[in-house]
Amino acid sequence: MAREPRFVFKEAAFNAALVKVDRNKVYGWSEIKYEDSNQQICSFINMLDDGKTMVGTGGIALKSIDELGDEIDKSTLIAKYMDDTDAVLYPSVFDVDTVLSNDKSISDYLSMDVKSVYQLQFSESNESILELLKIHKVLYFSFNYRAGYDPDDAFLLHQGDNIFAVIGRLTNFSYSSLEIPSVLDDETEEAGDDLDFNMF
Amino acid sequence: MRKIKIANVQKRDAEIVFGGLFRKPVVQYKLQDGTTARNIKVLKSDLKRQYDALFNEYGSDESLSKGILEEDPEIDLNNVGKIIGTTQKVLINPDNKPVYKVKITEVIYNVDGSIKDEKPFTTRNQNILSDYPISWTGKQIPIDEAYNKFIFAKKYQLTHNNGLTFDFLFAMAKELHGKKVMMLLAAGAKGNEPLIFQENGRPYRAFLEGRIIDESYLLIMHISNLELKPIL
């Protein structure tokens, strides 16, 4: 049986399994197929900068090195915040109670860049938590799937009788005034699929 | 910051700028002596020494196992551990030969993995900075209803680049703020296409949200390609 985080909101507590909502499971997906002149399926590999060494999946390793270029055992590294104090390791949601709070609003939720979505699966009735979400709309919590130093932001919300956990990173947009337009980051997006959008 | 051409409800358009915000890493990994570690990519084995090529050479797993024990064909002592800089993606055929001319097909799958359609691949052009501005569709969704209908994966803030576009965007934000709604945006000549932010990028639906405080504004373009639907 899947491990279930335990959520706590004031006096209420409940357990629920997390089932990942994958876009492919909702709409399907697409792939690009490349064929040569003999109808053989072709695939991408990495060519190194010497122009002749070709490397396939699994042919490259990621290593950590020190200032002298010697390899380091990653388990010996110490996590530090930018001010050089020791970073706090936050436990996985599966290992401790996850405390929900109602101090964040729909506006906060809408300011979050989303990384993943889970549907909550209950072995018992979800009535009590559903009632809470109908009142508060969103309930905030910190989320670490595995123990880590920089937890994600997360919200519980409901759609009909179903409850979802939406995980991501809150962004602090600043308002633009005539004198001070907001300064924003550029980004590029990876080329993706071309599915019909079934939203409407 | 990137540019986008957007029209308001009166179909007046302007070129303005947009972008996101990224949370910088809060943690760095250090050695015991306080120095910082660096990550590098190193070569484990090239294509000729990876499983598929060696299997073809030896003919069976048994022969390959024996070969690995006796001859170390998987190790290239001259190159293993070499630090890798930039790489380029290259298409190869099953014989591990680079190919230069290929037929490109897009295969679309249903949720159950069956093939729904197969068609020649066509390039998708970006449409956020084209002859046709991104326009308001007139479809307004109250924020209280939209928040749990769609997954707004990414947010981009729209901002002005001169005094005229400040007025233009402030008016948009004020209208949306007053109505407490999100406006569905669309691209294309007919104003009904999803937004594509870069060449061959994914198509997204975009919803514009406006907030104001005194004489400042916040216009957020929420983009989505997923409805919040149960899968259980």
B35 burial via Cβ count (<10 Å: 0-12, 13-18, 19+): exposed
Q: Which of B35, B46, B147 sits opposite A55 (nearest CB)?
A: B46
Strand-pairing partners, residue B163, are none
| CA pair distance B114, A156, nearest whole angstrom | 33
pLDDT band at A183 (very low <50, low <70, confident <90, very high): confident
pLDDT band at A190 (very low <50, low <70, confident <90, very high): very low
Give the closest-approach CA distance of A26 to chain B in angstroms: 7
Low-confidence ranges of chain B (pLDDT < 70): none
| CA pair distance B19, B36, nearest whole angstrom | 31
| Dmax (CA) of chain A | 67
Alpha-helical regions (H) of chain A: 23-27, 106-110, 127-136
Average pLDDT for A32-58 = 93
**Is residue A191's pLDDT more than 90?**
no
pLDDT band at A187 (very low <50, low <70, confident <90, very high): low
Interchain CB contact of B121 with A (< 8 Å)? yes
Mutation target to probe the A interface, by most A beta carbons within 10 A, among B51, B99, B129, B180 is: B99
Q: What is the pLDDT of residue A3?
A: 83
Interchain CB contact of A83 with B (< 8 Å)? no
Give the closest-approach CA distance of B36 to chain A in angstroms: 7
Interchain CB contact of B200 with A (< 8 Å)? yes
Q: What is the pLDDT of residue B152?
A: 95
Residue A16: which of A136, A142, A143, A163 has the closest Cα?
A: A163
Q: What percent of chain B has pLDDT over 90?
A: 85
| CA pair distance A97, A111, nearest whole angstrom | 26
Cα nearest neighbour of A194 on chain B: B202
How far apart are the two ends of chain B, measured CA to CA in Å? Answer: 41
- Inspect the interface and report whether the beta carbons of A44 and B89 lie closer than 8 Å: yes
- Inspect the interface and report whether the beta carbons of B44 and A66 lie closer than 8 Å: no
Q: Which of B25, B87, B118 sits opposite A46 (nearest CB)?
A: B87
CB neighbours of residue B133 within 10 Å: 22
- Inspect the interface and report whether the beta carbons of A25 and B111 lie closer than 8 Å: yes
Average pLDDT, chain A: 88
Structure tokens at B49: 């020494």
**Is residue A46's pLDDT more than 70?**
yes
Residues of A in contact with B34 (CB under 8 A): 84
* B83 contacts B42 by C-beta, under 8 angstroms: yes
Residue type, A32: I
- What 3-state class would DSSP assign to B166? helix
Residue B40: which of B80, B75, B84, B100 has the closest Cα?
A: B84
pLDDT band at A148 (very low <50, low <70, confident <90, very high): very high
Q: What is the pLDDT of residue A184?
A: 73
pLDDT band at A1 (very low <50, low <70, confident <90, very high): low
Average pLDDT for A110-121 = 95
**Among A41-45, A136-140, A189-193, where is mean pLDDT lowest?**
A189-193
**Angle at CA of residue B2, ends B26 and A27, nearest 5°:** 80
Give residues 36 to 55 of B whose Cβ lies within 8 Å of A: 37-48, 50, 52
* B196 contacts A87 by C-beta, under 8 angstroms: no
Residues of A in contact with B21 (CB under 8 A): 171-173, 184-185
Distance (Å) of CA B151 to CA A48, A156, B2, B129, B154 = 39, 13, 23, 25, 9
* B177 contacts B210 by C-beta, under 8 angstroms: yes
ipTM of the complex: 0.86
Q: Which of B32, B85, B106 sits opposite A30 (nearest CB)?
A: B106
Q: What is the pLDDT of residue B23?
A: 80
pLDDT band at A18 (very low <50, low <70, confident <90, very high): very high
Q: What is the pLDDT of residue B22?
A: 81
Q: Pick the residue with more confidence: A166 or A172?
A: A166
* pTM of the complete model beyond 0.95: no
Strand-pairing partners, residue A31, are B107
Q: What is the pLDDT of residue B24?
A: 83
Average pLDDT for A16-22 = 94
Residues of A in contact with B41 (CB under 8 A): 60-63
**Is residue A92's pLDDT more than 70?**
yes
Interchain CB contact of A116 with B (< 8 Å)? no
**How many interface pairs between A and B have CB atoms less than 8 angstroms apart?**
329
* A142 contacts A108 by C-beta, under 8 angstroms: no
Structure tokens at B205: 């639906």
Q: What percent of chain A has pLDDT over 70?
A: 92
- Inspect the interface and report whether the beta carbons of A31 and B52 lie closer than 8 Å: no
pLDDT band at A192 (very low <50, low <70, confident <90, very high): very low
Give the closest-approach CA distance of A176 to chain B in angstroms: 5
Residue B50: which of B20, B80, B16 has the closest Cα?
A: B80
Structure tokens at A47: 């060519």
Q: What is the pLDDT of residue A186?
A: 65
Mutation target to probe the B interface, by most B beta carbons within 10 A, among A110, A183, A193 is: A110
Length of chain B: 232
Interchain CB contact of A135 with B (< 8 Å)? no
Structure tokens at A115: 């990384």
Strands A17-20 and A112-121: antiparallel
Interchain CB contact of A13 with B (< 8 Å)? no
**Exposure on the CB side of residue A53, measured as CA atoms within 13 A:** 23
